[in-house]
Amino acid sequence: MLVAAALVIGGCGKEQNSPPPTAAPAATPANAPAGYVGALARGQQLAVKTVDVTSLNEEVRLFNVQEGRNPKDLDELVAKQYIGALPHPPSGMKFVYDSVQGKVSVAPQ
């Protein structure tokens, strides 16, 4: 028992050569990894794109149910007051409308 206590107190006779752990620097946008800020921007752009396309597709479906046909173009949704105005697509993108299928999507300009 006395030997075990001596080993615990003495650290088993081994020297520790490793330096003590240091705290990692705080993460801020200024020292963030290079792709982090770009990933945030792409994530926000994807969220905006998803919301706008989803709402436009819902309005096209509503138009189809009430009018018995798909709108000729997205401007017809505004003209018939299904929406107040067309939303702006995300930067560098454009809305693409297929009047045959009644489907709105987003594509690069």
pTM of the predicted model as reported, rounded to 2 decimal places? 0.57
pLDDT of residue 77: 96
Residue 20 lies in a domain: no
Instruction: Please check whether residue 72 lies inside any domain of the structure.
Output: yes
**44 lies in which domain range?**
37-109
Q: How far apart are CA 26 and CA 77, in angstroms?
A: 49
What amino acid occupies position 76?
E
Q: For all residues of the chain together, what is the average pLDDT?
A: 78
Res 1 pLDDT > 80: no
The Cα–Cα gap between 39 and 45 comes to 10
Asked if residue 12 belongs to a domain, the reply is no
pLDDT attached to residue 70: 98
* Closest listed residue to residue 104, CA positions, set 40, 66, 39, 54: 54
Asked if the model's pLDDT at residue 63 lies above 90, the reply is yes
